[in-house]
Amino acid sequence: MSTTKKRPLVSVCAVCYNHAKYLEQALKGFLAQRGAFEIEILIHDDASTDGSADIIRRYAARYPDKIFPILQEENQYSRGRQNISGIFNFPRARGKYIALMDCDDYWCNPDKLERQVRYLETHPDCSMTVHAAAVQNDRGELVNRNLMRPYRGDRDLSPAELVDKAGSFPFGAMLLRREVVEKLPEWYFRCPVGDRPLELLSALKGYCHYADRFDSVYRFHGSGSWTEEMKSGDFKKKQDRYARAMRELYRAFDRESGGRYHREAVSAARRVYFLTRVNLRDYGEIFSPRNRRYYRELPLRDRFFIRAERELPFLFAGLRRVRDRIFGQER
């Protein structure tokens, strides 16, 4: 009898850094997936200092045919190596499809992958499927149901719509065809975030299908998150640097696509710049007529507090405390 292990249909590419508090929940979400296909779990730990590597070793020993870790002894991000999955996970992935995950988030539906795989198997022109995600804070409370729910109802996004979209897809919601990541351009590795260049690369291969289901949980401001790192130090300098890096990303993508989505790429870069000005409370840019479209894309609650901060600064501190208490309530 043959003992050859079946090739996995899905490669789960997960990244971890100081996620010990959440890691087991992520791993259990992977292992709970149902479906008549094999998966492999490729997890990269970037020299965590909180015991994450020990948890990964324990699970890898228990599931040696399913979990394949890379446990760094030196932090790669601090060496300027961004988008870790593209360097360490994608090259060793054997699956027809690639799933993504940051290990402070988790999958909450055991049928998540099966539903996404079924769609891609029957829609060859689709390059990526995504879904909504519930949002959880560090206290374990589910908050802001619409933060990672960019649309109401299932829908398809054309490549042009995928390039110039306002809402966010949670990283853990993406399932890509392997061809999307087989040949990664240099601009992918220069980007300060991992999700946006993957969306752009997917747009070069086909359309995106969004399913309005909460199949994963996104942890807002999780320990060790990119968002938390951005808030430390010189906030303005980091926002300016981020805006420049994203502008260069869209310019590189525009060249890669031969100008096919030039208008959308210019608009997307402008949106990123606008959002960094929102973070910096640059009211001249926020209320500039040229940014009216992007301002209107902001949630009504955010627009209310921006105006309150500008027009009633003496009341804003109190309003902000109220906002923090009710953050996450349904809009």
Domains of the chain by start residue, with CATH: 10-219 (3.90.550.10), 226-326 (no CATH)
Q: Give Cβ neighbours of residue 314 (< 8 Å, ≥ 6 apart).
A: none
- Strand partners for 12: 41, 99
Long-range contacts of 231-238 (CB under 8 A, 24+ apart): 235/279, 235/280, 236/280
- Strand partners for 211: 131
CA atoms of 330 and 301, how far apart (whole Å): 10
Tell me the H-state helices in the chain: 20-31, 52-62, 84, 112-122, 159-163, 179-182, 186-190, 195-203, 226-231, 235-256, 262-280, 283-286, 292-297, 300-311, 313-326
- Mean pLDDT, each 10-residue run in order, the chain (331 residues): 71 97 97 96 97 98 98 93 92 97 96 98 98 89 83 96 92 96 94 94 98 94 50 83 97 97 98 97 96 95 88 66 52 37
Query: What pLDDT does 320 receive?
Result: 61
Query: What pLDDT does 308 receive?
Result: 84
**Whether this model's pTM surpasses 0.85:** yes
Q: Give Cβ neighbours of residue 49 (< 8 Å, ≥ 6 apart).
A: 18
CA atoms of 102 and 172, how far apart (whole Å): 7
pLDDT above 90 coverage of the chain, percent = 76
Query: What pLDDT does 137 receive?
Result: 86
Query: What pLDDT does 312 receive?
Result: 78
CA atoms of 10 and 212, how far apart (whole Å): 22
Distances (CA, A) of 31 to 27, 41, 108, 239: 6, 9, 11, 38
Query: What pLDDT does 226 receive?
Result: 46
Query: What pLDDT does 147 receive?
Result: 83
Q: b vs e for 237-265, b when ≥16 Cβ sit within 10 Å of the residue's Cβ?
A: ebbeebbeebbebbebbbebbeeebbebb
Yes or no: say if 3 and 31 are a contact pair by the CB < 8 Å rule: no
- Considering only CA atoms, which of 251, 214, 201, 22 is closest in space to residue 98? 201
Query: What pLDDT does 139 receive?
Result: 81
- Considering only CA atoms, which of 145, 115, 143, 111 is closest in space to residue 130? 115
